[in-house]
Structure formats: C-alpha cells, structure tokens
Amino acid sequence: MLVKTYGSAVYGVNACTITVEVNVGGGFGYVMVGLPDNAVKESKERVFTALKHNGFEIPRHKITINMAPADIRKEGTSYDLTIALGVLAASGQLDPEIVSRYVIMGELSLDGKLQNYNL
C-alpha cells in the first residue's frame, strides 16, 4: 500500500512541504530515496526501535520511502515521526486518511517518545 505523509524543510529562507511517500510491498528490504542526509537515513533504526517498543509490527516486506521533491536536501532527525506514521499507515496499522491531513515533524527517541529540545 502506498501512503503519503507530509513534513517540511527549509529551502533558502522559505519553508517547503516535503511529501514522504511510503510503500510496503512484495519482497524484503528497506530503501530511502530523495536526497536524504545521513541523519535521515539513520532514522530507520530509531523508527523501527520506537515502533517495536510501542507494540507495533515492523512490516516484513520491502519498505520503500521517497522524499519529494527529490532535488531538495533533507537534513536532520525531524523526519522520524513522519516516516514512522507513514510506515504504520502503509502497513495497515493506522488510517492513511488521518496522517495525510497534517504536516508531521519530530525526532523519536528509541522508546518512541518525541525528543524535546529547549533551545
């Protein structure tokens, strides 16, 4: 199933909506495309551990994540929650209609809580 969730990125002095498409389908593996930096690529470990600690199933199929537009660099850990909710919706554990209504951002800790930084 293909699900779209939405995040945001700073592009110059403007904010840009980032569409995070998650597909859970045949085969095995995990692929992320769309110019993610290393922190975004590492979200797999944070997301899967957080989901597991909160009683959700990790799909045992191929997970493909596309972050669009592909020409804008996605940086940082704030896409963790966007990706996690996309995986849950694409695997049938969450209603896709609900997650597609919001711009979702947040870094997940390994226990599934949102990281809170008082800057």
pLDDT at residue 119, as a whole number = 54
Write down the H helix ranges in 25-95.
38-41, 43-53, 80-90
Between β-strands 30-33 and 2-11, what pairing exists: parallel, antiparallel or unpaired? unpaired
Token readout for 33 is 């495309």
Structural domains in the chain, CATH included, are: 2-99 (3.30.230.10)
pLDDT at residue 13, as a whole number = 86
Q: Which residues of the chain fall short of a pLDDT of 50? A: none
Measured CA to CA, the distance from residue 68 to residue 47 in angstroms comes to 19
pLDDT at residue 48, as a whole number = 97
Question: Please, what sign has the CA dihedral across residues 49, 22, 98, 68?
Answer: positive
- Taking the complete model, does pTM exceed 0.85, yes or no? yes
pLDDT at residue 10, as a whole number = 86
pLDDT at residue 12, as a whole number = 84
